[in-house]
Amino acid sequence: MSDITPIIQSKLSTESGRRRRPTSLAAHGEPAVWLMGASLTLSLMMIAGLLSLIAYDGFRAFWPREIQRIELASGEVVLGEPIRTETFTPTEAPTEERERTLYRVGNRDTSQASFRWVEQPQVATASTPDDVVLVERIAWGPWLGELERMERVTADGSVEVLSEGHEQTLSELSEQLPLAKQRLAEIESLQRSVIDRANKQREAWRLRVAVANRQLADTDTAVRGLSKGVWTPVLAAGLGSLAAGWAGRKKRWAVVAWCAAGLLLVGAWVEQPTAGIAMTAERVEQIKSDSSQAERELVERTSEAEARIAALVAANDEVRVLIREPRTGRVAPTSVSKVDDPLRVAQVVRVVPANELSLAQKWGVYLSRWREYLTDDPREANTEGGVWPVIFGTVVLTILLSLAVVPLGVIAAIYLREYAKQGVITSVLRIAINNLAGVPSIVYGVFGLGFFCYTLGAYVDSGPVEPLPRMPWWLMAAGLGVVVSTSVLMAASGRRASTLGSTASSRWLQRGAGIGWLSSVVLIVVLGSTTPYFHGFFADRAAENIPTFRSKGILWASLTLALLTLPVVIVATEEAIAAVPGSSRQGSYGCGASRWQTIRRIVLPGAMPGIMTGAILAMARGAGEVAPLMLVGAVKLSPDLPFDQTAPYIHLDRSFMHLGFHIFDLGYQSPDPEASRPLVWVTTLLLVAIVFALNSSAMLLRARLRKRMGGPVV
């Protein structure tokens, strides 16, 4: 020990005499922390900047602007709302910079553009007079001018002046406009509840008569079914198999008896004697007579509605308002083809005397425009009016895709994580699922159009394209019964062999059962696609070449987006299931619970917050997709909603409007880009708000589940 001490002391003195090298910052991790913090800050700034830009341009789109009266150096007078001012370089003077202002001048009836650039050197005087108004019309955009008078045209053609001058006309217009809107609402109600419904009933009777005539001409339409001599033994055998399965002592043979009973009873039901009734000339005449009687009732009903509509239209045509434009001296016309006929009050949506509004009145106009935007239908190529059908279609689509994708994703994830043997096949499946998440969305749109719309939709409408004859079809159905029974027996025998310790035989039996189940699925698909007993739910319409589900619709769009977002739900659910502690499973097994009981009562409740996370991600991605919807259901204009008060009340075959597609249409397909630019920001703001509301609801539900399970509420 004494020999080692001098050596240690010498070593320590040598180390202390050296200069210690400082530890680098990279070893402590400060640069990585700074980099991650800077990246997070930059990301938050980008998100906040984007949302701020959308909110700023979206919320100010409906604020009433002042109306300027500009007198140009040429003597021309222009009325317009200033939109923005910019500096530009004219082509004739490349070294000179000028200032110009974009004005919304409206008045497209006078063959001018709705927006006009005015250069500052051209302006002689600019003022904001109080006697000018902005009139928002149902068609042809806004009209800017001066209120001159309001008049009523009597039945004998004479003209009665109701008011004259700016103040009196504005006051009279505020009284007449609500009455005209009430008449328009009654006209629309009569059109939808009486006229449109009567037209649909006429179409239904027309199809019924056409089908009867076609069945009379076609002698093969009646399906007679089995004779009673064959049908009675089949029914008796089915009932006997049912009793044998009920009284069976051995479970495997009881299952076989149940399968046989189901097959025989279904056969006896669909092949009953005199299953079809032949169409006769007497029945055709009776259907035609009923159709004629229904037509007379419909004519009587619609005549009353049309008379009431005519009276309301005549009442609206009586009152007109003269709004003169100072540039050309013309008044606002009732239509482009009738330039000398003054504007009707019923054609006015709103009158805004922007230059004499107080702050409270401006807020009233602002909120009124928002109410119209959120509750009315679009008009003027979607550049005016509201977006209520667009909002409704977006929300319904998001809910339908969530209802479709969450159960499918959860079932697939449970099987991959809890039941499937972890090996090469499951690894390949997981890789394929992850790759599907990166497939371009337009590919899903092409698949949805080809499979859902044109293949599955055609099957729903008119049944199989080439149905099999009945005897081969029943032989194939019997083969399906044999395959299912064999698979059940092999699965039961495999489980019994595994309990007895025979690993090799158990493995082969389970593989055979898996092959049998796969074959059963294939046979079920083949039997369903070639059945001679299904002729479609809308065969009558299909025979008249009127597609129902064999076209674009919200059902196929939601299923297409469900496939697109399915990988997101599967991956999130698998991760959530894997995060459930193994001790919880072992405790459940120790208490005697089966695997399914453990999954249902332990695993799924524990993984529910993660499943909700997958659902939130699926909703967020599906709500913003546009490319697939352009192929499978979204359209430019569709005022008919998927849900309404007309039977059967749910119309999943209808096309719909979507906020994402609406933004694309406003931004790139609008005939007036400047007029639609503010609506692009408003619609984007609305889409962000809807996605945020749906995600917030799901996040609140997830937080409640986590709190109930005792986990962190994040």
Domain annotation covers residue 664: yes
Nearest to 341 by CA among 181, 153, 184: 153
If asked whether residues 266 and 396 sit together in one domain, one would say: no
Cβ 406 vs Cβ 591: under 8 Å:
no
If asked whether residues 433 and 573 sit together in one domain, one would say: yes
pLDDT at 224 over 60: no
Span of 73-77, 499-503, 691-695 with lowest mean pLDDT: 499-503
Nearest to 556 by CA among 545, 566, 548: 548
pLDDT at 714: 37
Query: Going by C-beta distance under 8 Å and a sequence separation of 6 or more, which residues neighbour residue 468?
Result: 476, 530, 531, 532
Domain annotation covers residue 148: no
The conformation of residue 2, written as its DSSP 8-state character, comes to T
Cβ 401 vs Cβ 632: under 8 Å:
no
If asked whether residues 439 and 580 sit together in one domain, one would say: yes
Of 378 and 380, more confident: 378
Torsional sign, CA 103, 109, 110, 112:
positive
Domain annotation covers residue 252: yes
Phi, psi of 94 (to 5 degrees): -65, -25
Please state, rounded to an integer, the average pLDDT across all residues of the chain.
Answer: 83
Phi, psi of 16 (to 5 degrees): -70, -25
At 649-690, the pLDDT tens digits run 788 888 899 998 999 888 888 878 888 888 999 999 999 998
Question: What single letter denotes the amino acid at residue 572?
Answer: A
pLDDT at 66: 92
pLDDT at 31 over 80: no
Nearest to 110 by CA among 153, 77, 83: 77
Domain that holds residue 240: 228-270
Domain annotation covers residue 254: yes
User: What CATH number is given to the structural domain containing 413?
Assistant: 1.10.3720.10
Cβ 67 vs Cβ 354: under 8 Å:
yes
If asked whether residues 246 and 394 sit together in one domain, one would say: no
pLDDT at 133: 92
Q: How confident is the model at residue 222 (pLDDT cuts 50, 70, 90)?
A: very low
Of 86 and 701, more confident: 86
Percent residues over pLDDT 90 in the chain: 25
From the CB of residue 685, how many other CB atoms can be counted at a distance below 10 Å? 18
pTM passes above 0.75: yes
Domain annotation covers residue 432: yes
If asked whether residues 397 and 262 sit together in one domain, one would say: no
Of 137 and 495, more confident: 137
At 344-359, the pLDDT tens digits run 999 999 999 999 999 9
Of 211, 246, 270, the domain-final residue: 270
- Distance between start and end Cα atoms, the chain: 61
Cβ 231 vs Cβ 271: under 8 Å:
yes
pLDDT at 494 over 80: no
Domain annotation covers residue 660: yes
pLDDT at 221 over 50: no
pLDDT at 240: 74
If asked whether residues 429 and 558 sit together in one domain, one would say: yes
Domain annotation covers residue 233: yes
At 310-342, the pLDDT tens digits run 999 999 999 999 999 888 888 889 888 888 888
Residue 88 pairs in a beta bridge with 98
Of 270, 292, 320, the domain-final residue: 270
**The residue count for the chain:** 714
If asked whether residues 458 and 602 sit together in one domain, one would say: yes
Give the span between the Cα atoms of 573 and 568, in whole angstroms.
Answer: 9
pLDDT at 711: 47
pLDDT at 205 over 60: yes
- The 10 Å CB-count burial string (b at 16+, else e) for 626-660 is bbbbbbbbbbeebeebbeeeeeeeebbbbbbbbbb
Number of domains in the chain: 2
pLDDT at 223 over 50: no
Of 254, 270, 286, the domain-final residue: 270
DSSP string, 211-249: HHHHHHH-TT-------HHHHHHHHHHHHHHHHHHHH-S
Q: What is the mean pLDDT of residues 262-273?
A: 67
Q: What is the mean pLDDT of residues 185-207?
A: 88
pLDDT at 16: 53
Strand order in the sheet with 98-104: 115-119, 98-104, 77-88, 68-72, 123-127
Query: Going by C-beta distance under 8 Å and a sequence separation of 6 or more, which residues neighbour residue 549?
Result: 456, 457, 460, 461, 538, 555, 556, 653
Q: How confident is the model at residue 365 (pLDDT cuts 50, 70, 90)?
A: very high
If asked whether residues 266 and 403 sit together in one domain, one would say: no
Domain annotation covers residue 649: no
Tokens for 348?
A: 């006015």
Residue 136 parent element (H or E):
strand 132-137
pLDDT at 141 over 90: no
Q: What is the mean pLDDT of residues 490-506?
A: 73
Give the span between the Cα atoms of 671 and 380, in whole angstroms.
Answer: 10
pLDDT at 701: 79
DSSP β-ladder status, 143-153 and 132-137: antiparallel
Nearest to 224 by CA among 542, 462, 470: 470
Torsional sign, CA 240, 246, 247, 251:
positive
Q: What is the mean pLDDT of residues 480-503?
A: 77
Residue 135 exposed, middle or buried by CB count within 10 Å (0-12, 13-18, 19+): buried
Nearest to 557 by CA among 448, 442, 651, 438: 448
pLDDT at 698 over 50: yes
At 155-167, the pLDDT tens digits run 777 888 888 888 8
Question: What single letter denotes the amino acid at residue 103?
Answer: Y
pLDDT at 273 over 80: no
Give the span between the Cα atoms of 112 and 122, in whole angstroms.
Answer: 18
Give the span between the Cα atoms of 293 and 287, in whole angstroms.
Answer: 10
**For the range 208-212, what are the long-range contacts, defined as Cβ-Cβ under 8 Å and sequence gap of 24 or more?**
208/287, 208/291, 208/540, 209/284, 209/287, 209/288, 209/291, 210/540, 210/543, 210/544, 211/540, 211/543, 212/279, 212/283, 212/284, 212/287, 212/288
pLDDT at 14 over 90: no
Q: How confident is the model at residue 186 (pLDDT cuts 50, 70, 90)?
A: very high
If asked whether residues 400 and 263 sit together in one domain, one would say: no
Cβ 602 vs Cβ 580: under 8 Å:
yes
Q: What is the mean pLDDT of residues 288-314?
A: 91
Residue 321 pairs in a beta bridge with 150, 343
